[in-house]
């Protein structure tokens, strides 16, 4: 009883901290929309990295499908809003669409391992991108979608976007924590360490993997919807950009794959670097980022947090 109560304290604390940050940060930063934008980007990356971590970290399946569900969520929400539905309906639709697609798709490709799984997950991004572009009656095709309300008060939009994304990030991390401590997390880590042994121990690996994949994808979908509302305009080459799959992975790698707070730390470090690169190295920004990532992978493949907590099993 005492232990169970304790188990809920930290996740709830995370949510509370999230709420404080969400509502307090805009006031602290007042009119600095640039800083608000950075903070919102950070929250978005934390959300995606944390969600990815469920599949890539806890379960050990290197998924590149993040961009697919991110884009799907963005479009689901944008299309609904274009037809006059509220933003809230947009978010709900995003989560539902992502879940409906990810469950069967995940179930199918989670049978694959290693590179094969990675490639199959990556292919989904290309497929969704092309299909979205082709289905122009609904999605506007290459023209993209301008979300209603894009021309409104800039400060209000910045503030609301920050609040939504920070809460989403807090939710993602708290959920990650709850899962890691529960039966799902236990099952996933068994699968990660030795799937065959886990199966013979009676763990329903296919079911658990699919659950993790679906939860992860749903979160990415909602993040996409939030992104669409924030920027006000989406098109296939933006939201289905493979970098949306890669950035969360890098963030998790930096901070520590498989740890709960690794994605948070890693996202912060990564964004600082990316912003520095973009501001100062115009032509070679992406290349410099590549060098950085390569160095990171070579020098510290475990990530920052595990290196700090030597001896703890990730």
- 53 or 170, CB closer to other proteins? 53
* Neighbouring C-beta atoms of residue 242, cutoff 10 Å: 15
Cβ atoms of residues 181 and 41 within 8 Å: no
Which positions lie near other proteins, rule CB under 8 A? 33-34, 37, 56, 60, 62, 108-109, 111-116, 118-120, 123-124, 126-127, 129-131, 133-134, 136, 141-144, 146, 150-154, 157, 231-233, 235, 237-238, 241-242, 246, 249-250, 253, 257, 278-280, 282-287, 289-294, 297-298, 301
- 151 or 182, CB closer to other proteins? 151
- 14 or 72, CB closer to other proteins? 72
Nearest-approach distance from CB 270 to other proteins, in angstroms:
12
Nearest-approach distance from CB 249 to other proteins, in angstroms:
6
List helix spans (H) across 30-86.
33-53, 66-82
The residues that bridge with 145 in the sheet, in sequence order, are 234
Nearest-approach distance from CB 14 to other proteins, in angstroms:
26
Alpha-carbon span 255 to 1, nearest angstrom: 33
Q: Are strands 233-234 and 145-146 parallel, antiparallel or unpaired?
A: antiparallel
- 175 or 289, CB closer to other proteins? 289
- 39 or 174, CB closer to other proteins? 39
DSSP 216-254: HHHHHHHHHHHHHHHHSEE-HHHHT-THHHHHHHHHHHH
Nearest-approach distance from CB 33 to other proteins, in angstroms:
5
Nearest-approach distance from CB 154 to other proteins, in angstroms:
4
Nearest-approach distance from CB 67 to other proteins, in angstroms:
13
Q: How far, in Å, are 104, 106, 215, 309 from residue 314 at the CA level?
A: 29, 25, 21, 9
Nearest-approach distance from CB 32 to other proteins, in angstroms:
9
List helix spans (H) across 110-153.
114-134, 136-139
Q: How far, in Å, are 81, 82, 93 from residue 86 at the CA level?
A: 6, 9, 11
- 35 or 92, CB closer to other proteins? 35
- 83 or 116, CB closer to other proteins? 116
Alpha-carbon span 213 to 156, nearest angstrom: 34
């Amino acid at each position: 009883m005492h232990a169970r109560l304790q188990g809920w304290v930290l996740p709830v604390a995370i949510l509370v901290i999230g709420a404080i940050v969400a509502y307090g940060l805009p006031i602290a930063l007042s009119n600095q929309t640039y800083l608000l934008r950075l903070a919102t980007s950070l929250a978005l990356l934390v959300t995606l990295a944390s969600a990815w971590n469920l599949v890539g970290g806890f379960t050990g399946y290197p998924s590149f499908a993040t961009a697919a569900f991110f884009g799907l969520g963005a479009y689901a929400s944008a299309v609904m809003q274009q037809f006059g539905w509220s933003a809230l309906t947009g978010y709900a639709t995003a989560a539902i669409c992502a879940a409906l697609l990810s469950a069967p798709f995940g179930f199918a490709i989670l049978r694959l391992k290693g590179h094969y799984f990675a490639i199959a997950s990556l292919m989904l991004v290309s497929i969704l991108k092309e299909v979205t572009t082709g289905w122009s009656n609904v999605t506007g095709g290459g023209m993209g979608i301008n979300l209603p309300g894009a021309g409104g008060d800039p400060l209000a939009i910045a503030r609301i976007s920050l609040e939504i994304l920070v809460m989403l990030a807090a939710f993602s991390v708290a959920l990650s924590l709850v899962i890691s401590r529960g039966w799902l997390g236990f099952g996933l880590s068994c699968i990660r360490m030795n799937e065959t042994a886990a199966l013979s121990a009676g763990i329903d690996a296919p079911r658990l993997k699919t659950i993790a994949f679906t939860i992860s994808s749903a979160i990415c979908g909602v993040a996409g919807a939030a992104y669409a509302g924030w920027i006000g305009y989406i098109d296939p080459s933006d939201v289905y950009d493979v970098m949306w799959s890669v950035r969360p992975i890098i963030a998790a790698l930096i901070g520590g794959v498989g740890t709960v707070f690794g994605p948070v730390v890693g996202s912060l470090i990564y964004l600082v670097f990316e912003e520095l690169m973009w501001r100062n190295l115009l032509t070679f920004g992406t290349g410099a980022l590549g060098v950085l990532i390569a160095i990171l992978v070579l020098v510290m493949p475990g990530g920052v947090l595990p290196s700090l907590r030597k001896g703890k099993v990730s």
